[in-house]
Structure 1
Amino acid sequence: MTTAYEKAQLAGQNAVRTAILDAAIRLLADEGPAALTVRRISGDVGCSTKVIYTMFGGKDGLVEALWREGFARFGRALAAAPRGDDPVKHLAALGRAYRAYALAEPNYYRIMFEAAVPGFRPGPEAYAESRETLAILVGVVEECVKAGVFTEGEPAAIADTFWMAAHGAVSLELAGIFGPEEGERRFHMLTTALVRAYGTQSRPGPAEPDQERNRQ
């Protein structure tokens, strides 16, 4: 029987890396962080432990690779959010993309934001990359300030407030506190409340999710 490693070898190094990360994220999801060992991952993939040590340097390097992969996927999800002339609508679209990513990739999300692997700390370069992923949010907040729809303030600090709120709402939904429909509704309520809190004048909040989908 052909192993995942043997199949990936035919496609090149990137495919081997993906196969190893896929095995690691599955183990983390199914059995928790204790199962995330080089020996266990190599056994699941069908390669030697040397392959993983050569490619990632060991378990810490592998977990950091999962962290980076999560943020790479997250960045693509945010970049794909619909843009338009209204920065508030773009901000709302980023919020929906944030929530959708977290629900679609909960295991990566937990590595990124919820310390799913105890003791892991990303290196300076990986951490800088993660913050860069959120730069799109800061940029849209800057547009809101320049357009006069948000009060004057430090865009990075305002963006962090939106991020903190989104993370809290998504974490509750991932924990099963809210179902999908209620989670979506509550997320929209939270986004609307923040937009109004930072707004310089009375204006309607972002469109309801169903209304926004109908326009796309």
Structure 2
Amino acid sequence: MSTLYQDALRAGQDAVRTTILDCAINLLVTDGPAALTMRRIAADIGSSTKVLYTMFGGKEGLIDALYREGFARLRRVQEQVPRTEDPLTHLTHLGAAYREHALAEPAYYRVMFEQTVPGFRPSAEALAIAETAFDTSAAAVAACMEAGIFQPGDAREMSKIFWAASHGAVSLEIAGHFTPEDGGRRYDALMAAVARAFSTQHESKNEGQGT
């Protein structure tokens, strides 16, 4: 009977990397950060620790890889959201995809945002990868500005405000404070409220009130 490592090795190095990361994230969820050792992971997938050290350099490198993988997956999810003719609808769909992905992979979400592993600090490369995960949403915000839906401004900064709102709502839902039904309803209401705050219609109303 072959091991997980042997099965992955036949599929190539990318499969080996994915197998290791999947094992690591599962250990983190089931047994906590203390269980996340190179020896334990190697035993679980049926490889030598040398394989892990060669690929990741050590435990810190492995955790950094988990962080990068989380953002890489988020970026792929965002890039796969179909574009629509209405840029605001596209932005809304991106927000929904963010929530769905976070709820589908809460372990990665916690590594990315909640310092699940005490003392871990992402590398400069990991932080750069994390930043690219929001290129799609920043482009969608820019499209809303170009279409006259949103007020002019810094599209990336505005997208970060959407992200901050999204993150707060999703974190509460993952932590169990919102039921899935309430979480979805409140998330949609929050995203709509942020969009209204940046709307050119909101700007016009404010100007009318000041006259």
| Length-normalised TM-score, structure 1 | 0.90
Equivalent-residue separation in structure 2 for 1:76 and 1:17 (angstroms): 17
Counterparts of residues 25-64 of structure 1 (less than 5 Å)? 25-64=25-64
Task: Supply the RMSD in Å over aligned alpha carbons.
Answer: 1.2
> How far did 1:171 drift?
0.2
Counterparts of residues 76-115 of structure 1 (less than 5 Å)? 76-115=76-115
**1:7 partner letter:** D
1:124 partnered with 2:124: yes
Equivalent-residue separation in structure 2 for 1:170 and 1:22 (angstroms): 22
Equivalent-residue separation in structure 2 for 1:18 and 1:146 (angstroms): 40
**1:140 partner letter:** A
Equivalent-residue separation in structure 1 for 2:6 and 2:156 (angstroms): 46
Counterparts of residues 170-189 of structure 1 (less than 5 Å)? 170-189=170-189
Partner residue, 1:190: 190
Partner residue, 2:75: 75
**1:22 partner letter:** D
- Structure 1 residue ranges, 4+ long, deviating more than 3 angstroms after superposition: none
Partner residue, 1:211: none
Partner residue, 1:21: 21
Equivalent-residue separation in structure 1 for 2:192 and 2:15 (angstroms): 42
> How far did 1:111 drift?
0.9
> How far did 1:82 drift?
2.7
Equivalent-residue separation in structure 1 for 2:44 and 2:190 (angstroms): 42
| Length-normalised TM-score, structure 2 | 0.92
- Percent identical: 55
Please state whether the residue corresponding to 1:47 is helix, strand or coil: coil
> How far did 1:150 drift?
0.9
Partner residue, 1:5: 5
Deviations 1:92-151 (A, max 9, x none): 000000000000011111111111112112211221111011111111111111211111
> How far did 1:59 drift?
0.5
Equivalent-residue separation in structure 1 for 2:61 and 2:95 (angstroms): 30
> How far did 1:9 drift?
2.0
**2:70 partner letter:** G
Deviations 1:143-198 (A, max 9, x none): 11121111122212111110000000000000011111111000000011011111
Equivalent-residue separation in structure 2 for 1:104 and 1:163 (angstroms): 18
Equivalent-residue separation in structure 2 for 1:162 and 1:96 (angstroms): 12
Unpaired runs of 5+ residues, structure 2, are: 203-211
